Chain A
Amino acid sequence: MKSNAERGRCGAYTLIELLAAMATLCVILLMLFTTTGMATLAWKENSASTETFQQARTAFSTVTRRLSQATLNSYRDYYNTASSQGFTYPDLPANKTEYRTRSELHFLTGRAADLMPDASATRPTHAVFFQAPFGYQKKTDGLRSLLNVCGYYVEYGDDSQNRPSFTSASSGAKKRSRLYEVMQPSEEFALYKSGTARGWLTGLVTSSLAANTHALAENIIALILLPQRRPDDTDLAPRYAYDSRAWLKGRTTLGDLTQNQLPPLVQVTMVVIDEPSAKRLQDQDQLKDLVDASLFQDAAQFNADWQRLQDKLKGQCRYRCFQTTVSLASSTWSESAP
């Protein structure tokens, strides 16, 4: 008996023991899986954030570097002050009355909705378009300083246009806010052919934007561009709009000042949110209008607008802001009438 009893104690567990052990195991496993799951989730979120922010940082670097190379190739020539409304240069010798800075190139910043109007597209905050010798071309090889039209803007939408053609455009399309880069190959450079001030841009935006655009980074919700003469200057582009051809629309003080001149500085601010936040906001249908259209319309209100945006974002998502002031290296800014 003794030996049986001993055997029984050693060889078998009571039901209670087993139940208790199983329950303990379940608790341990549950805790383990919960912890692992939470860690995995946290890791995933962190890594998505990091990836997003890293991508944004690279994109920001690209934007600022390229922007710093913007050129107008301006030179001095003669204008006829009497009839400078058209874009064709009307300076027949007898009418050469005024000596000004002239250029065939064009630099402009402003609200994306103004620069590239399209009712079907959601393009919050600002855009910039300029030319620079990036040497990007489709056919010709070796010429590294050919001029290109380059531009940046933020657009909310799906990523179907950036997907390979063999994937279904609609399946799994991810609606996000992205920073887009416009880079038109040099062969298609149409600036010289255009007869009007913004004809080239209208043509680009309406007919070949998709072909010449690629997303540079995801989850960029705002790109704020403020041309300046010196840091903290809000007078050069009081509505954030800068147009080196503004004078063609009629003579104004600001138009005269900026006529065919590159601004010496552009303050670039970019706001990025992380992917989980973006997903969440998208699921809640709040992503599209995350940045209120009333923000960043008045350069003097930049700090207040930025505070409003921060207040809104703080409660909803993880975000980062990148800001720098880009010096446009080829600018020969002159304070007096050019």
Chain B
Amino acid sequence: MRILTNNAKRQTRSGMALILVMCLLVLLSCLFMGYFSSITAERISAKNFAVTNETRLLAESAVNIVMSQIVEATTREPDSAWTSQPGMIRTFDADGNPLHCYKLYSSNKMVVKGGFNARALVSQEIPEDWSDRKGEFIDLNAPSKRLTGWRYPVVDPTAAKQVEGFAPDPKFDVAMPVRWIYVLRSGQLVVGVPQGRGRLKIAAATTENPVVGRIAFWTDDETCKVNINTASEGVFWETPRTQSLADQTMAIRQPRKGEFSRFAGHPATVCLSTVLPSLVGNGAPRYGKIYAMTPRIGATGGSQEGTIEIANQSDIADKQDRLYGSLDELLYSMSRQTNSGLVSSEIERGRFFLTVASRSPELNLFNRPRVTLWPVPFSESKRSALDRLMVLCSTIPGAGNARLYFTRQDNRSATVDYTGDAKNRKLYEYLQQLTSQPVPGFGGGSLASKYGGTAGRDQLLTEIFDFVRCANLFDPNLPKSSDLYTAKTPGQVVPIAIGNTHGLGRYPTLAEAAIQFYATSTDSGTGMVNGMRAALLLALSNPAQGYAATTPSYTIRVATKTPFSTDTTPTFSFTGDIDRSKMSTSTESSLLGGEESFARLISASYPYVLKADIPVTGGKFNFGGGVIEVSFLPNATASQSVQTVQVKFPKITTTLAAPLMPPATGSYAGWSDYSKRREHVSDPNYFQFDVVRSVTPLGGDCRLTAGMSTVLTPEEGGPACLAPLSETDYLDATKARVFSLRTPGGEYYTDAKGPALSEGDWDNGVGNTPDGAYIGKPDEGSVTSNSSGLPYFNGDTTAVNEKFYFNQRQIASPVALGSLPTGVVLGTPWQTLLFNPHPTANAHPGGNAPPDFLWLDLFCVPTVEPYALSSPLTASGRVNLNYEMVPFTGMVRTTALRAALKSTRILAIPTGETTYKKGSPVASSYYHAISAEETLKGFDQRFSDGDVYRAAAEVCNLELVPDGVTFGGVKVWWQGQTLTGDNSREMPYNHLYPLLTTQSNAYQVHCRAQSLIKGSGSDPQIWEEGRDVVSGEYRVSSVIERWIDPNDSRLQTVDVFDKSLTPYYRFRVVSTAPFVP
């Protein structure tokens, strides 16, 4: 027992030792456990940190891929044309063939050679069963659930109820499925090949180089959205061209300076209401809330959306709000108050349709700078603020201050403006060079291949140069009134002469020369006329018709080259000068330009009347014709004429009946005496007793001869560009009077003559002035009410004051060049630049390849107010014509284009209308709103054909369909609108073209990035969805911008007129917005 007891005691002691050991072990274990658990926690935290960084880096790599695609697209063939659209950039060669299509979304083939028919290939890009192929495709727009509802990262489907022109895909709704691109550890990007059962083969992956992540992205084009920094709500305004009530309203309720939303072609005319309809009020003014939130569009003053007359308007205060730095900022005003009428959900829904960063390059299809259409005074001290802004927007400082604008210095010289400024010549040569090459993206030869080759091209260039010279003649903002370009001869510009070409200036030319035989004596026995006299009558025309008025300052000189003859008088001739500057000009509406009646020149000292009778025998006479030379000189002592026109009156081989003797009593008493007769020159029946034959520029289109400095007869080697209007009638002896001279009180001249009407290349006169052969002089405005209370009507001769001065009134876009004649060299009348083909016209050479609208691409009009929406080589707020989204072709987003179309109007004057220029106006309006729905059917055809628009100028080739007319019926509708002039037809395009682009500088990359971990021991080449691990995800939208620094020193070594500028673009990330579910 004791032993046992002792043993027990010993055991007890041994147990103590064990406990001690155990305790120590527990202590040590705890220490180790604690150590390891904290190591694990740290490892997890470090890993999470790494995963977060990894997914961010993956997302950044998606942005870098997009940037490299854009760089590749725009620089691989730097001289090729390129276009952008959501999801794709396409390039085209000089023959117009598609070169490559660069996808801006994750796909298994990122570059496609040739074209890409997005609609036909949609099933290839997004298979029907994409949602089941989870490792291959992912929906970029997959929503996340929040307390307040579903939240979408790209586009909210409820936007369809709020936003115009948006429709989800009938098949995929708003899903935006694109392919996953897998990223290996080495950075290699690969697309998996499906192996069935959710397994993908990643052939390039190895154990050492496993799959570490995947990215999916799609790039939106910011120019397919409405820019909240530039857009507002357009309220249409246009120079009146009829006397309809609508045009009278236009005249009396003109926009005031600073009322940008009414200026043609200003980005502020793009309508925000397409995206934010709740901001439109019911009663006038309807758009107050929109104007209040736009950063630079004044909300008060001016015409108040066209409701306040000029006399009652107040000035618009300069608004200097900040530009929106991000879309969401739209919620707040400058003072951080919520913008009236807006809620955040509306902005959220508008996210896919609004932007703050839409910019596009101001480069032509050759990727070289566009030439500015604005005349800048040569002397810097004579420039207005606006001139200076134009200069700043049209100069590339980095390239040795390369100049993209024309200057002018002497309106009375035909040469100084060209020869006196080497940079003008350089620019002219630049345009010659561009027009000598095939146009990238279109092909069909060069622009110089049309209209008589290089001679015709040079003639057009000279006309364009002169068109620019003749703008802005009455700028009220110059330092001194004596700085006005036409200070010495107000409103008059001597046409420029460049080589063999001749501009049109703002100067008179011969519209018609007529010889009038009037009876002076009768045989007292037989009562037959036995004596008559001849008078030479000259009708002039200034094709630069429009406001403001000119003060004529020139001398007409007539000389007889080949004397006239009759059977009884072998020779008689006309000679002498008329000094137009010494004649009274009061109350002359013709001072606006256009056709000037012969009657204006008739005075007591009219020199072109024979002083002696021509004997007439047997009541008949033969007319042997003759040739006169009419010269226009700056003054009577000038040695050099501005223009000389030889006019040949053809011989009439048959015998003409002598003129009749007016009754000796009554109202015609004394008409046989010219000094008495001239007092009745305004009588509509002035010629009723006479024999008259006239010669006009071909077809009556004075623009033909206006474009020549010397017009010789064919016998002298000149072109046959003057002739009787109708040769047959002229030679027809049974006809007493064959002429088209308009008498002031006679039938109103509303019909453009004969061939003009069928071709459509004639212009509607401004206000209630006649229609005719005009060149679309930039309208400088009229605000002074005459007795009828209306500016623009009945000949206001006062220049517009600074309160109503804005440059868009004059030249809103290059479409303003549309009335310049293209037939001068070939002698084709009534043919001008064809930007928009008349649907009912016969084949017009302007539509032949390369189409005339490509001229538009060479020029631009910078938007310099309210701030520099244009800066050198860049313009803001333009809308992309290529709205189709690749590969989501089923989803429609035409919102931005609708926003541009919304405030534009079509002007159409119906055939047979008799009161659109005089009498009591019948029609209240000839303006028509555009039916976006029908119009876009036409726009959409290009995408149906698997192609895109290659230049914004192509818009001119598209039909704008008025409300109430269908797209299919628009051609027939236009057949009933034949009194619409060329300028009126193209007017809506003048508003639209400057708002449009086909190239974007700003893109938004929507990206999903996931970091991946392959299951241990699994095949590194197989990705198994659901089994392998997605360790982290990051969804983000980044706005990137390609930009060029006009100060870039690299440009110093480049001739910007000779080399593509695309290699000098750089990228920046404007903003990054993660999508936080």
Binding site for B on A (CB under 8 A): 7, 10-11, 32, 36, 39-40, 43, 47, 50, 54, 57-58, 61, 65, 69, 71, 73, 75-78, 88-89, 92-97, 99, 102, 104-105, 131, 133, 135, 140-147, 186-190, 192-193, 329-338
Judge whether B344 and A330 touch: CB under 8 Å: no
Judge whether B49 and A135 touch: CB under 8 Å: no
> What residue in chain A is nearest B28 (Cβ atoms)?
A36
Q: Which of B1032-1053 contact A (CB under 8 A)?
A: 1043, 1045, 1047-1049
Judge whether A142 and B1071 touch: CB under 8 Å: no
**A40-B334 Cα distance, complex, nearest whole Å:** 58
> What residue in chain B is nearest A94 (Cβ atoms)?
B385
Whether B320 is near chain A, meaning CB under 8 Å from some CB there, is yes
> What residue in chain B is nearest A47 (Cβ atoms)?
B38
Q: Which of A65, A145, A187 contacts B326 (CB 8 A)?
A: A145
| Chain A residues whose CB sits within 8 angstroms of the CB of B415 once the complex forms | none
Known: A143-B328, A193-B335, A335-B1049. A93 touches B867 (CB 8 A): no
Whether B269 is near chain A, meaning CB under 8 Å from some CB there, is no
B31, B42, B1070 interface centre (most CB from chain A within 10 Å): B1070
**A73-B389 Cα distance, complex, nearest whole Å:** 21
Give 6 pairs: A residue, B residue, CB < 8 Å, sorted on A.
A76-B871, A96-B385, A97-B388, A99-B871, A145-B326, A329-B1068
Whether B1069 is near chain A, meaning CB under 8 Å from some CB there, is yes
Judge whether B1068 and A143 touch: CB under 8 Å: no
Q: Which of A69, A92, A147 contacts B318 (CB 8 A)?
A: A92
Judge whether B31 and A39 touch: CB under 8 Å: yes
Q: Which of B174-206 contact A (CB under 8 A)?
A: none
| Chain B residues whose CB sits within 8 angstroms of the CB of A65 once the complex forms | 56
**A133-B329 Cα distance, complex, nearest whole Å:** 9
Judge whether A334 and B1045 touch: CB under 8 Å: yes
Q: Which of A93, A105, A332 contacts B385 (CB 8 A)?
A: A93
**A54-B39 Cα distance, complex, nearest whole Å:** 13
Whether B665 is near chain A, meaning CB under 8 Å from some CB there, is no
Q: Which of B49, B322, B356 contacts A192 (CB 8 A)?
A: B322
Judge whether A36 and B323 touch: CB under 8 Å: no
A156 CB, nearest partner CB in chain B, Å? 27
B6, B327, B867, B1075 interface centre (most CB from chain A within 10 Å): B867
Q: Which of B320, B326, B334, B1072 contacts A146 (CB 8 A)?
A: B326
| Chain B residues whose CB sits within 8 angstroms of the CB of A145 once the complex forms | 326-329, 1071, 1073
Judge whether B323 and A75 touch: CB under 8 Å: yes
Judge whether A147 and B329 touch: CB under 8 Å: yes
| Chain B residues whose CB sits within 8 angstroms of the CB of A337 once the complex forms | 1047
| Chain B residues whose CB sits within 8 angstroms of the CB of A71 once the complex forms | 325, 1070-1071
How many residues in B have their beta carbons less than 8 Å from beta carbons of A?
Answer: 64
Known: A47-B38, A89-B320, A334-B1047. A144 touches B385 (CB 8 A): no
| Chain B residues whose CB sits within 8 angstroms of the CB of A97 once the complex forms | 385, 388
**A337-B35 Cα distance, complex, nearest whole Å:** 59
**A190-B865 Cα distance, complex, nearest whole Å:** 27
Whether B771 is near chain A, meaning CB under 8 Å from some CB there, is no
**A65-B57 Cα distance, complex, nearest whole Å:** 11
**A57-B50 Cα distance, complex, nearest whole Å:** 11
**A218-B374 Cα distance, complex, nearest whole Å:** 62
| Chain A residues whose CB sits within 8 angstroms of the CB of B1070 once the complex forms | 71, 329-330
A57 CB, nearest partner CB in chain B, Å? 7
Known: A105-B325, A133-B328, A332-B1068. A141 touches B344 (CB 8 A): yes
**A145-B1049 Cα distance, complex, nearest whole Å:** 34
B360 CB, nearest partner CB in chain A, Å? 15
**A76-B1076 Cα distance, complex, nearest whole Å:** 33
Judge whether B388 and A10 touch: CB under 8 Å: no
Q: Which of A146, A190, A193, A331 contacts B331 (CB 8 A)?
A: A146
Whether B301 is near chain A, meaning CB under 8 Å from some CB there, is no
B119 CB, nearest partner CB in chain A, Å? 33
Whether B562 is near chain A, meaning CB under 8 Å from some CB there, is no
**A190-B348 Cα distance, complex, nearest whole Å:** 23
Known: A133-B325, A133-B326, A141-B344. A330 touches B1069 (CB 8 A): yes
Judge whether A144 and B336 touch: CB under 8 Å: no
Known: A96-B389, A99-B389. A142 touches B868 (CB 8 A): no
B941 CB, nearest partner CB in chain A, Å? 37
B91 CB, nearest partner CB in chain A, Å? 25
| Chain A residues whose CB sits within 8 angstroms of the CB of B443 once the complex forms | none
Whether B148 is near chain A, meaning CB under 8 Å from some CB there, is yes
B6, B151, B322 interface centre (most CB from chain A within 10 Å): B322
Judge whether A104 and B323 touch: CB under 8 Å: yes
**A267-B393 Cα distance, complex, nearest whole Å:** 34
| Chain A residues whose CB sits within 8 angstroms of the CB of B1043 once the complex forms | 332
Judge whether A143 and B397 touch: CB under 8 Å: no
**A142-B1075 Cα distance, complex, nearest whole Å:** 10
B16 CB, nearest partner CB in chain A, Å? 12
| Chain A residues whose CB sits within 8 angstroms of the CB of B626 once the complex forms | none
> What residue in chain A is nearest B53 (Cβ atoms)?
A61
Known: A71-B325, A144-B1076, A334-B1045. A58 touches B49 (CB 8 A): yes
Judge whether B335 and A76 touch: CB under 8 Å: no
Whether B340 is near chain A, meaning CB under 8 Å from some CB there, is no
> What residue in chain B is nearest A187 (Cβ atoms)?
B336
| Chain B residues whose CB sits within 8 angstroms of the CB of A40 once the complex forms | 31
Known: A58-B49, A104-B322, A142-B148. A133 touches B31 (CB 8 A): no
Judge whether B325 and A73 touch: CB under 8 Å: yes
| Chain A residues whose CB sits within 8 angstroms of the CB of B1075 once the complex forms | 144
**A65-B325 Cα distance, complex, nearest whole Å:** 19
Judge whether B389 and A78 touch: CB under 8 Å: yes
Whether B892 is near chain A, meaning CB under 8 Å from some CB there, is no
| Chain B residues whose CB sits within 8 angstroms of the CB of A193 once the complex forms | 334-336
| Chain A residues whose CB sits within 8 angstroms of the CB of B393 once the complex forms | 99
Judge whether B31 and A142 touch: CB under 8 Å: no
**A140-B148 Cα distance, complex, nearest whole Å:** 12
B410 CB, nearest partner CB in chain A, Å? 26
| Chain B residues whose CB sits within 8 angstroms of the CB of A7 once the complex forms | 6
Known: A89-B320, A330-B1068. A96 touches B388 (CB 8 A): yes
Judge whether B148 and A329 touch: CB under 8 Å: no
**A11-B345 Cα distance, complex, nearest whole Å:** 90
| Chain A residues whose CB sits within 8 angstroms of the CB of B647 once the complex forms | none
Judge whether B323 and A94 touch: CB under 8 Å: no
> What residue in chain A is nearest B151 (Cβ atoms)?
A142
A256 CB, nearest partner CB in chain B, Å? 12
B900 CB, nearest partner CB in chain A, Å? 21
**A317-B348 Cα distance, complex, nearest whole Å:** 51
**A141-B149 Cα distance, complex, nearest whole Å:** 12
Judge whether A146 and B329 touch: CB under 8 Å: yes
| Chain A residues whose CB sits within 8 angstroms of the CB of B876 once the complex forms | 75
> What residue in chain B is nearest A43 (Cβ atoms)?
B35
**A335-B1052 Cα distance, complex, nearest whole Å:** 13
| Chain B residues whose CB sits within 8 angstroms of the CB of A133 once the complex forms | 325-326, 328, 1071, 1073
Q: Which of B1049-1073 contact A (CB under 8 A)?
A: 1049, 1068-1073
Judge whether A329 and B867 touch: CB under 8 Å: no
| Chain B residues whose CB sits within 8 angstroms of the CB of A61 once the complex forms | 49, 53
Judge whether A140 and B1073 touch: CB under 8 Å: no
**A266-B1048 Cα distance, complex, nearest whole Å:** 21
Known: A76-B868, A142-B344. A135 touches B328 (CB 8 A): yes
| Chain A residues whose CB sits within 8 angstroms of the CB of B323 once the complex forms | 73, 75, 104
A4 CB, nearest partner CB in chain B, Å? 12
A318 CB, nearest partner CB in chain B, Å? 17
| Chain B residues whose CB sits within 8 angstroms of the CB of A75 once the complex forms | 323, 867-868, 871, 876
Q: Which of B421-469 contact A (CB under 8 A)?
A: none
Judge whether B6 and A10 touch: CB under 8 Å: yes
**A102-B31 Cα distance, complex, nearest whole Å:** 62
A196 CB, nearest partner CB in chain B, Å? 15
**A92-B322 Cα distance, complex, nearest whole Å:** 16
**A65-B348 Cα distance, complex, nearest whole Å:** 25
Q: Which of A92, A96, A143, A335 contacts B348 (CB 8 A)?
A: A143
A232 CB, nearest partner CB in chain B, Å? 20
B929 CB, nearest partner CB in chain A, Å? 33
B320, B398, B477, B1073 interface centre (most CB from chain A within 10 Å): B1073
